[in-house]
């Protein structure tokens, strides 16, 4: 076998590559008060367990900087050795730390070694001499906390084994550690000690059992509480509450946990424990706990009252919301006032009638609180109450109602409910007491246009310059004008709309609203081409096979020609677009067929040379020639969407020929075209028959 060369670690120093210094060199550098120490701290952990023994000796160095640097390197090394695949090194390092701990040079070094042992000892490794230190009165507490942090099977066993010879105080401390690490093997011993003569041990045993969530430990813990003295009653009851928490989290014994919370709430005068019981009821309970929680808000303790009211928000479910709403009506005004904000934050339909009624209360403070809470409920149902307050409320109520309406609008808008958000903005616009609120509402209307908003704008008269509004807003406003019979005003507004770019959904919306009103001539002004001649159908491989096959000598076509397709003669025939969208439905002349293509031709006239955009939609693919030049070719399987494709083209003054080929895979079969400026302003074109 070929002899392997020694492995050399290379590092970059000042831009040059050099060999990593040896462990001995780095240890010497670590012991110097120089910049070299910094490099040593960074580089030594790369060497794994090799320098650990020497570093542990340096913990006793009289120079505190050296000792601290050595500790830092060992700490970093131990953490690195915890990575997967380094178990053998980690075990070796743990041996070194524990060996040093068995005979440290000083108490200060022992304390450092205990901190290192907490991260050094892996599962399956001996914990000696930590277990021996548990029996040393001077070191048992640091050893206990170290073993608690180690928390391996061996560490837990050492804590259990130390119980029998320990005095009452340290037995309690050991039980606290076993409870903290949730040692299942300590449960039996903890049950025994729950009846120990010492109150301190009984409470610690209760703590060690509380994490189990086992209802069978409930009776012993109740007995611990019953036998507690003044010094241990708080901790005993707290352990009982923690057991209830564990039972509730474990599931399957909901009623048992609720019984414990209610029991503590009824029996203890200690505010903190009462509050913990209330929070437990609210966190894990359902609508059945509402009455119990509200009964605790009896006015005897301000903090407990506040906890009870606030905790109602923790109770989950629509049934709980309904229960809280029903309970609200029976509460004194002071409690109602505290409940109202939580009702708003809970939200949902059940709170709307409660808060609506509260907004009509004889108590002014309750009215204001209800109006404020309504802004937290993202439902349009609350709007009438806010509108009434904005119009007729007191000087204190109106600004609160406006703020809540703003909050409502923003919440609806954030949830995607833009139509209802627009309705709220419209009401804000109507009720605006100043220009700032009006500007805010107008920004909302621009983002969320709805017909109700434009009625509000119309009512404002000359206070609003409608030409500053975006296209969709203007379309809706024009619709509102038509509905109220103001056709001349509608035409003027349409002139403004049609003189501006309008593409896609806003353009389609305009056609939907006005396309069938012949006196307004909207389709023509938007560049819709309504009349075509079609010929076909011809064989086609289906979407994705290409639209370049020649069937009619395209683009040099002859409208007088006829074509033999599988023994059938087909000729050019006229077809008109249906409705106001310019849609040419090819299933009308040809029926529902698959894998075919057809051609459509039209001749249009314009008064001057111009650059235009041919905007089309098709089901399925489409190819377009303008004056014999291909301007668009999109072979695709899709439904028809308005203005989905855009093709730049040039038209000349006079007549211009447009030829279209439309592919069919299956299902619907249609197309539509319109002519606009490149920016999207409609170009009225005349079809030359």
Count of the separate structural domains present in the chain: 2
The whole-number pLDDT of residue 1 equals 31
Structural domain boundaries, residue 681: 527-687
**Whether 594 and 655 share a structural domain:** yes
pLDDT digits (tens, 9 = 90+) for 103-126: 999 999 999 999 999 999 999 999
E strands along 204-316, which residues? none
Domain containing residue 409: CATH number? 1.25.40
For residue 3, pLDDT over 60 is answered with no
**Whether 485 and 631 share a structural domain:** no
Q: Tell me what the mean pLDDT of segment 311-326 comes to.
A: 95
**Whether 647 and 541 share a structural domain:** yes
**Whether 549 and 591 share a structural domain:** yes
**Whether 472 and 566 share a structural domain:** no
C-alpha dihedral sign at 148, 150, 151, 153: negative
CA distance 354 to 527: 55
The set of residues, in sequence order, having a beta carbon less than 8 Å from that of 307 and lying 6+ positions away, is 274, 275, 278, 279
The answer to the question of residue 615 being in a domain is yes
pLDDT digits (tens, 9 = 90+) for 212-233: 999 999 999 999 999 999 999 9
**Whether 492 and 626 share a structural domain:** no
Domain boundary among 500, 516, 551: 500
Torsion angle (degrees, nearest 10) of CA 574, 577, 578, 582: 180
The answer to the question of residue 350 being in a domain is no
Domain boundary among 449, 483, 500: 500
The answer, as to whether pTM is greater than 0.85, is no
The answer to the question of residue 202 being in a domain is no
The whole-number pLDDT of residue 8 equals 33
**Whether 496 and 534 share a structural domain:** no
For residue 429, pLDDT over 80 is answered with yes
The answer to the question of residue 105 being in a domain is no
**Whether 545 and 648 share a structural domain:** yes
pLDDT digits (tens, 9 = 90+) for 19-47: 468 999 999 999 999 999 999 999 999 99
The answer to the question of residue 465 being in a domain is yes
**Whether 445 and 531 share a structural domain:** no
Mean pLDDT score of the chain: 92
Domain boundary among 484, 500, 516: 500
The whole-number pLDDT of residue 11 equals 40
**Whether 532 and 492 share a structural domain:** no
**Whether 471 and 589 share a structural domain:** no
The set of residues, in sequence order, having a beta carbon less than 8 Å from that of 161 and lying 6+ positions away, is 131
Q: Tell me what the mean pLDDT of segment 155-163 comes to.
A: 97
pLDDT digits (tens, 9 = 90+) for 10-20: 343 343 334 46
CA distance 464 to 469: 9
How sure is the predictor about 446, in pLDDT bands with cuts at 50, 70 and 90?
A: confident
The answer to the question of residue 651 being in a domain is yes
**Whether 491 and 415 share a structural domain:** yes
The whole-number pLDDT of residue 461 equals 58
The answer to the question of residue 576 being in a domain is yes
How sure is the predictor about 2, in pLDDT bands with cuts at 50, 70 and 90?
A: very low
The answer to the question of residue 433 being in a domain is yes
pLDDT digits (tens, 9 = 90+) for 542-591: 999 999 999 999 999 999 999 999 999 999 999 999 876 789 999 999 99
CA distance 331 to 311: 16
Whether the ω angle into residue 620 lies within 30 degrees of 0, i.e. cis, is: yes
| Helix, coil or strand: residue 85 | coil
Burial class (CB in 10 A: 0-12, 13-18, 19+), 403: middle
Q: Tell me what the mean pLDDT of segment 414-422 comes to.
A: 94
């Amino acid at each position: 076998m070929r002899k392997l060369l020694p492995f050399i670690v290379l590092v970059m120093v000042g831009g040059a590559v050099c060999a990593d210094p040896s462990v001995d060199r780095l240890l010497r550098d670590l012991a110097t008060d120089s910049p070299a120490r910094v490099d040593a701290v960074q580089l030594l952990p790369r060497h794994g367990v090799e320098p650990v023994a020497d570093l542990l000796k340096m913990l006793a160095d009289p120079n505190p900087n050296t000792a601290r640097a050595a500790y830092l390197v060992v700490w970093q090394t131990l953490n690195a050795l915890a990575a997967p695949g380094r178990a053998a090194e980690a075990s070796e390092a743990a041996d070194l730390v524990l060996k040093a701990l068995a005979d440290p040079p000083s108490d200060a070094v022992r304390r450092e070694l205990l901190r290192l042992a907490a991260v050094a000892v892996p599962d399956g490794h001996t914990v000696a001499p930590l277990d021996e230190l548990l029996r040393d009165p001077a070191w048992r507490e640091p050893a206990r906390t170290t073993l608690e942090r180690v928390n391996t099977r061996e560490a837990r066993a050492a804590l259990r084994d130390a119980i029998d010879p320990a005095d009452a105080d340290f037995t309690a401390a050991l039980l606290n550690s076993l409870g903290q690490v949730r040692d299942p093997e300590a449960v039996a011993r903890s049950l025994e000690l729950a009846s120990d003569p010492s109150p301190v041990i009984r409470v610690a045993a209760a703590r060690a059992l509380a994490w189990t969530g086992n209802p069978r430990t409930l009776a012993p813990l109740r007995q611990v509480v019953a036998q507690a003295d003044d010094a241990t009653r708080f901790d005993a009851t707290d352990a009982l509450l923690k057991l209830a928490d564990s039972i509730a989290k474990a599931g399957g014994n909901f009623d048992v946990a609720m019984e414990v919370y209610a029991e503590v709430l009824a029996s203890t005068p200690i505010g903190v424990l009462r509050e913990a019981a209330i929070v437990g009821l609210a966190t894990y309970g359902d609508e059945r706990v509402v009455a119990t929680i509200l009964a605790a808000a009896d006015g005897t303790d301000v903090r407990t009252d506040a906890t009870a009211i606030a905790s109602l928000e923790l109770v989950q479910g629509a049934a709980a919301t309904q229960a809280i709403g029903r309970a609200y009506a029976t509460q004194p005004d002071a409690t109602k006032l505290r409940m109202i904000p939580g009702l708003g934050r809970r939200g949902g339909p059940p709170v709307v009638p409660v808060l609506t009624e509260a907004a009509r209360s004889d108590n002014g403070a309750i009215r204001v609180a209800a109006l404020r809470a309504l802004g937290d409920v993202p439902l349009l149902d609350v709007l009438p109450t806010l509108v009434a307050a904005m119009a007729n409320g007191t000087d204190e109520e109106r600004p609160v109602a406006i703020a809540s309406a703003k909050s409502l609008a923003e919440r609806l808008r954030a949830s995607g409910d833009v139509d209802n958000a627009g309705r709220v903005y419209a009401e804000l616009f109507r009720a605006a007491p100043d220009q700032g609120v009006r500007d805010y509402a107008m920004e909302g209307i621009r983002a969320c246009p709805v017909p109700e908003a434009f009625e509000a704008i119309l009512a404002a008269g000359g206070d609003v310059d409608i030409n500053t509004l975006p296209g969709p807003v203007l379309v809706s406003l024009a619709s509102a004008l038509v509905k109220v019979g103001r056709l001349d005003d509608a035409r003027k507004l349409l002139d403004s709309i049609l003189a501006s770019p309008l593409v896609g959904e806003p353009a389609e919306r305009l056609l939907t609203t006005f396309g069938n009103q012949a006196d307004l001539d909207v389709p023509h002004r938007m560049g819709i081409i309504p009349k075509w001649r079609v010929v076909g159908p011809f064989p086609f491989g289906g979407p994705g096979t290409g639209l370049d096959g020649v069937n009619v000598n395209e683009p040099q076509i002859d409208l007088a020609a006829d074509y033999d397709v599988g023994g059938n003669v087909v000729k050019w025939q006229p077809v008109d677009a249906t409705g106001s969208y310019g849609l040419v439905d090819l299933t009308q002349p040809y029926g529902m067929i698959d894998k075919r293509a057809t051609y459509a031709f039209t001749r249009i006239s314009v008064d001057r040379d111009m650059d235009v955009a041919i905007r089309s939609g098709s089901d399925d693919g489409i190819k377009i020639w303008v004056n014999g030049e291909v301007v668009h070719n999109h072979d695709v399987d899709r439904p028809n969407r308005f203005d989905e494709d855009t093709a730049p083209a040039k038209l000349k003054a006079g007549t211009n020929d447009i030829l279209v080929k439309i592919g069919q895979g299956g299902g619907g079969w249609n197309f539509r075209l319109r002519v606009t400026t490149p920016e999207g302003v409609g170009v009225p074109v005349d079809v030359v028959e």
